[in-house]
């Protein structure tokens, strides 16, 4: 059996999710009468504290709808160099909307320096594009943006008159990681005898949803993917005000994203929201297990994972063997991406045994014992 660590987009719907899809009542979403789509949109908007939401086929389209709904031709948005909506979405905002990106370099923790955000905001001068939007991503490459930073950056944007969009493709991974930090803090307080209430010992669905809402409420719009760690086969949602979503719906139509009997897909996303949020903690634990298993191999620099994405940089003799390593892994039923910087992503179709297989194969390639 293949252990597919290329991405959490490769997940397959479970039997229970397929049953929910089969049982979904259907209508025509272009006419607004698909009950399963409407229920999903109400659910995700309510969870994250927004007035409305729009179900779209992909996260790329969700971000496109967001940027083109916040910005007009000749406007610009401030974004990170490694942000998905800048680097890996085909330049859609510029191509389809004539909206200029203003990319900034990331700090080591994935943030954009607040001072650099402020400096990038253009003055009101006809020589410049009009700065309209700040776009952040959480998680970014598996890194959790510190919540205090998110507040500071978005408050600056708001004070400067900018709209704020979150690419939350893995928002619930971020929320689970943030909830886990709170659990650890409570345990430390309990051990020190300074706790003033009951102490949680694990991340629950309610605590994760609460953290997702806390993050989301720093923004005017949020895009959430259902087809990554949440395990649905297709789909994302864009959340915002009713007026904003009305504009986004028009962009979705122009972009060819208006689907008809899409309730079967929406039902899968609804099932994921009900059943797959808190289990993301398992994926995070497996990424740490993988990192621990690879630690100490000469030529491999293993970044400590914060969520479900692990990066491993190869140097020296290991770098020279990178292509051979990937082929060796593939020959042994382990799939990963990268070359000199390997990327491993854990998800609901990977278990502890699969991680152990991956560790064993890599160690065997380098002639090391397990």
* Interval 227-280: pLDDT, tens: 999 999 999 999 999 999 999 999 999 999 999 999 999 999 999 999 999 999
> Is 247 inside any structural domain?
yes
Does residue 288 share a domain with residue 246? Answer: no
Which of the four pLDDT bands, split at 50, 70 and 90, describes residue 201? low
> Is 5 inside any structural domain?
no
> Is 8 inside any structural domain?
no
The number of domains in the chain is: 2
Q: What is the pLDDT of residue 202?
A: 85
Q: Give the span between the Cα atoms of 362 and 104, in whole angstroms.
A: 35
Residue 309, CA distances (Å) to 74, 77, 99, 265 in order: 36, 27, 31, 26
Strands 221-225 vs 236-240: parallel, antiparallel or unpaired: antiparallel
* Residue among 203, 167, 141, 145 at smallest CA distance from 345: 141
> Tell me, what CATH number does 69's domain have?
3.40.640.10
Does residue 167 share a domain with residue 302? Answer: no
Is there a contact between 291 and 310 (Cβ–Cβ < 8 Å)? Answer: yes
Q: What is the pLDDT of residue 367?
A: 81
Longest dimension (CA), the chain: 65
Domain hosting residue 91, numbered range:
13-275
Does residue 189 share a domain with residue 303? Answer: no
By the 10 Å C-beta count (0-12 exposed, 13-18 middle, 19+ buried), 4 is classed as buried
As a whole number, the mean pLDDT across the chain is 95
> Is 69 inside any structural domain?
yes
Residue after which a domain boundary falls, among 250, 275, 300? 275
Mean pLDDT for 289-297 is 96
Q: What is the pLDDT of residues 150-184, one digit of tens each?
A: 999 999 999 999 999 999 999 999 999 999 998 88
Q: What is the pLDDT of residue 189?
A: 65
Does residue 286 share a domain with residue 239? Answer: no
Q: Does pLDDT of 112 surpass 70?
A: yes
Which of the four pLDDT bands, split at 50, 70 and 90, describes residue 1? confident
Q: What is the pLDDT of residue 195?
A: 58
Residue after which a domain boundary falls, among 244, 275, 306? 275
Mean pLDDT for 326-342 is 96
Q: What is the pLDDT of residue 345?
A: 98
Q: Does pLDDT of 200 surpass 70?
A: no
Does residue 257 share a domain with residue 113? Answer: yes
Strands 52-56 vs 221-225: parallel, antiparallel or unpaired: unpaired
Q: What is the pLDDT of residues 45-98, one digit of tens each?
A: 999 999 999 999 999 999 999 999 999 999 999 999 999 999 999 999 999 999
Residue 191, CA distances (Å) to 179, 183, 187, 199, 203 in order: 19, 12, 6, 10, 18
Does residue 304 share a domain with residue 255? Answer: no
Which of the four pLDDT bands, split at 50, 70 and 90, describes residue 199? low
> Tell me, what CATH number does 291's domain have?
3.90.1150.10
Is there a contact between 334 and 370 (Cβ–Cβ < 8 Å)? Answer: no
Q: What is the pLDDT of residue 182?
A: 86
Does residue 160 share a domain with residue 134? Answer: yes
Does residue 250 share a domain with residue 311? Answer: no
Does residue 153 share a domain with residue 223? Answer: yes
* This model's pTM is above 0.85: yes
> Is 1 inside any structural domain?
no
> Is 2 inside any structural domain?
no
Does residue 285 share a domain with residue 265? Answer: no
Q: What is the pLDDT of residue 370?
A: 53
> Is 7 inside any structural domain?
no
Is there a contact between 242 and 51 (Cβ–Cβ < 8 Å)? Answer: yes
Does residue 208 share a domain with residue 102? Answer: yes
* Residue among 225, 216, 229, 344 at smallest CA distance from 277: 229
Q: Give the span between the Cα atoms of 252 and 314, in whole angstroms.
A: 41
Does residue 302 share a domain with residue 153? Answer: no
Q: HSE on the CB side for 88, CA within 13 Å?
A: 12
Q: What is the pLDDT of residue 369?
A: 57
Which of the four pLDDT bands, split at 50, 70 and 90, describes residue 4? very high
Q: Which two tokens stand for residue 358?
A: 């991956």
> Is 29 inside any structural domain?
yes
Q: What share of the chain is helix, strand, coil (3-state, %, to 5)?
A: 45, 15, 35
């Amino acid at each position: 059996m293949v252990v597919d660590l290329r991405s959490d987009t490769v997940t397959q719907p479970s039997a229970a999710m397929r049953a929910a899809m089969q049982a979904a009542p259907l209508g025509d979403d272009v006419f607004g009468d698909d009950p399963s789509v409407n229920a999903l949109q109400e659910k995700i908007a309510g969870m994250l504290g927004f007035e409305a939401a729009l179900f779209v086929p992909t996260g790329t389209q969700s971000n496109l709808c967001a940027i083109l709904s916040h910005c007009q031709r000749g406007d610009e948005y401030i974004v990170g160099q490694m942000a998905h909506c800048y680097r890996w979405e085909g330049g859609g905002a510029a191509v389809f909307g004539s909206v200029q990106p203003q990319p900034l370099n990331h700090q080591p923790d994935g943030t954009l320096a607040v001072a650099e955000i402020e400096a990038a905001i253009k003055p009101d001068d006809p020589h410049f594009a009009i700065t309209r939007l700040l776009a952040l991503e959480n998680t970014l490459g598996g890194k959790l943006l510190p919540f205090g930073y998110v507040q500071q950056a978005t408050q600056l944007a708001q004070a400067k008159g900018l709209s704020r969009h979150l690419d939350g493709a893995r928002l619930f991974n971020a929320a689970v990681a943030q909830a886990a930090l709170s659990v650890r803090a409570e345990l430390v307080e309990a051990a020190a005898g300074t706790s003033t209430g009951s102490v949680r010992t694990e991340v629950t669905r309610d605590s994760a949803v609460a953290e997702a809402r806390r993050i989301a409420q720093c923004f005017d719009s949020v895009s959430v993917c259902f087809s990554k760690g949440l395990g649905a086969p297709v789909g994302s949602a864009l959340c915002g005000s009713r007026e904003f979503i009305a504009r986004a719906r028009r962009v979705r139509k122009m972009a060819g994203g208006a689907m008809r009997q899409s309730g079967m897909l929406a039902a899968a996303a609804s099932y994921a929201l009900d059943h797959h949020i808190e289990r993301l903690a398992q994926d995070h634990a497996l990424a740490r297990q993988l990192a621990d298993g690879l630690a100490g191999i000469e030529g491999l620099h293993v970044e400590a994972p914060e969520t479900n994405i692990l990066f491993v940089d190869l140097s020296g003799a290991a770098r020279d063997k990178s292509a051979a390593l990937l082929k060796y892994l593939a020959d042994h039923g382990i799939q990963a991406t990268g070359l000199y910087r390997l990327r491993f992503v854990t998800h609901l179709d990977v278990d502890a045994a699969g991680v152990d297989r991956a560790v064993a194969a890599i160690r065997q390639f380098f002639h090391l014992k397990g």
